[in-house]
Each structure stands twice: as structure tokens, then as C-alpha cells.
């Protein structure tokens, strides 16, 4: 693995590398979407090719599916898998209770379906995504294209009664056209700044006709693996309350990352 990476990319790599320890041969694995999750897919692909790891991957987006096939991971659908051993994915924010905001890449609908169909969900991220209260990152909601402006108006009205600091709602764009999700839907980004009651707002949003799903992942994540630019990795497990730390060494002489914590 090349070492000429920025500290942010090194952090993403080491947390992805550590998360591979949650994967064993014979598992059905949910594969997340995003820049950190792509490192995981590459690491698992290397294990498939070089170590004989045998897994079946259920991707959460078309771009993850393409990458998984490219690196040699067998790809199946969730309907074929029925249930997964583990899902490993990134997050845009996580709080001390490991509640998440996801959807910066517009794939949170498939990501939530896959994560809730798993025995475990592991989040891989860097320390910048840690917050005391969710909401600084815009909360995405996926909405059907039909009547989306009416849906947006209803969402804005619903936010008036919510414990949030901001209420701006914007349509996510891809250039000069609306962003289109893998399911053919639009994304509205809610600029809330702070979410005082995540459960309440999640329930209210999902009751609005036209809203398919929101990007709040509550009581779904089991552990978060946090990478740092100096090679440290912290693993927080919400179920047993443990916090573990390891260190990966960046060896300039052989252009490899080596785990030195064992």
C-alpha cells in the first residue's frame, strides 16, 4: 500500500485496515459507500487475492459494486444474501452514543437497509467526524421526484416545531441538474446546525409523504473505528463500553503499512 498519502487519507486507510479484523472467511459483508469505505473494499480485495479470504459482498451503491468486482470480491444482492454477518461503512458524523448522520454521498437509503439487515454495523471514520451533538453536517433526506417542492415545503413547516438551530432546506445538485440517487430519487439537505432530539425528527420526517428515508442512523452502529493521520486507530464498542487503541507504522523503506500493535 503506498505511503504518499495526506494525513487524512492515512487516517482513512488505517481505520479501514483495522476494520478488516471484523471480517472472516465465509461471511456475507455489507460494503459501504464513500472515500473511507473504498479503502475498506480495497483492503478486503487484497485479502481475497493474496490471503484466500472468501466472502460475499453486498454493496450499498453501484460505485461500490463496481469497485468490489474490480478488486476481486464476489458481489451478491441483499435479496440473495437475506441477512449479513457485518456491514462496514463510513459516516459523516457520529456522537458519543454512536448515533450517526450518513448520506453525504447520497447512498443512505441503501446503506440503512443493508446496515439494519446485519448482525453488526461497524463504522470507519476519522476523528473529525466526532461530535457531541449531531447536526453540524447537513441531514440528507431522500425524496421521490414527484412533487418534491411540495415535500420540501412540508419538511420546512415540520422543522418549525423541532429542536434544531437551523431550518434551511436545499435540493442537492449535480452540476446544473438535481442529484439523482441509485433509486432514481432526489436528495434534500437539511441544514439544522444542531439536532436536539434526533429520534423525534427522524420519526416526523419519515411520516411525511414523499420522504423515502432520512440520514439519521440511530441505535444501528455497534462499534466505530477511528483513524488518525499518525497511524493510530481507536475502536469504540458501544455494546461492551470498551475503547481499544492500536498503532500502524508507516515504513518508508518498503512502501507498506505494517501493524506493530500485536
Binding positions are 33-36, 89-92, 102-105, 129
The answer to whether residues 110 and 61 touch, using CB atoms and an 8 Å cutoff, is: yes
The answer to whether residues 92 and 128 touch, using CB atoms and an 8 Å cutoff, is: no
The answer to whether residues 35 and 61 touch, using CB atoms and an 8 Å cutoff, is: no
With b meaning 16 or more CB within 10 Å and e meaning fewer, what string describes 44-68?
A: bbbbbeeeebebbbbbbbebbbebb
Q: Please pick, among 111, 142, 213, 246, the residue that the annotation labels catalytic.
A: 111
Instruction: Point out the annotated binding site for substrate.
Output: 33-36, 89-92, 102-105, 129
HEC letters along 101-130: ECCCCCCHHHHHHHHHCEEEEEEEEEHHHE
C-alpha span between 105 and 91 (Å, rounded): 10
The answer to whether residues 189 and 173 touch, using CB atoms and an 8 Å cutoff, is: no
Distances (CA, A) of 11 to 30, 246, 258: 21, 13, 14
Q: How long a stretch of residues is the chain? A: 262
156 is catalytic: no
User: How far does CA 61 lie from the centroid of its chain?
Assistant: 11
DSSP 8-state assignment for residue 138: P
What are the residue numbers of the active site?
Answer: 111
Amino acid at each position: 500500500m503506498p505511503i504518499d498519502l495526506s494525513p487524512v487519507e492515512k487516517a482513512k486507510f488505517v481505520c479501514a485496515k483495522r476494520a478488516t479484523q471484523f471480517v472472516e472467511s465465509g461471511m456475507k459483508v455489507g460494503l459501504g459507500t464513500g472515500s473511507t469505505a473504498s479503502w475498506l473494499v480495497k483492503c478486503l480485495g487484497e485479502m481475497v487475492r493474496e490471503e484466500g479470504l472468501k466472502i460475499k459482498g453486498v454493496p450499498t451503491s453501484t460505485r461500490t459494486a463496481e469497485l468490489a468486482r474490480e478488486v476481486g470480491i464476489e458481489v451478491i444482492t441483499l435479496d440473495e444474501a437475506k441477512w449479513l454477518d457485518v456491514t462496514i461503512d463510513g459516516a459523516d458524523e457520529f456522537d458519543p452514543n454512536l448515533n450517526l448522520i450518513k448520506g453525504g454521498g447520497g447512498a443512505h437509503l441503501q446503506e440503512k437497509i443493508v446496515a439494519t439487515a446485519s448482525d453488526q454495523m461497524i463504522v470507519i471514520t476519522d476523528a473529525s467526524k466526532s461530535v457531541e451533538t449531531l447536526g453540524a453536517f447537513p441531514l440528507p433526506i431522500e425524496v421521490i421526484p414527484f412533487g418534491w417542492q411540495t415535500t420540501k415545503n412540508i419538511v420546512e413547516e415540520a422543522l418549525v416545531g423541532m429542536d434544531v438551530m437551523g431550518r434551511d432546506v436545499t435540493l442537492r445538485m449535480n452540476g446544473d441538474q438535481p442529484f439523482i440517487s441509485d433509486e432514481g430519487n432526489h436528495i434534500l439537505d437539511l441544514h439544522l446546525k444542531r439536532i436536539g432530539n434526533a429520534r423525534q425528527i427522524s420519526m416526523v420526517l419519515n411520516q411525511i409523504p414523499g420522504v423515502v428515508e432520512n440520514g439519521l442512523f440511530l441505535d444501528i452502529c455497534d462499534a466505530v473505528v477511528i483513524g488518525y493521520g499518525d497511524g493510530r486507530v481507536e475502536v469504540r464498542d458501544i455494546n461492551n463500553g470498551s475503547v481499544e487503541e492500536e498503532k500502524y507504522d508507516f515504513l518508508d523503506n518498503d512502501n507498506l503499512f505494517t501493524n506493530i500493535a500485536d
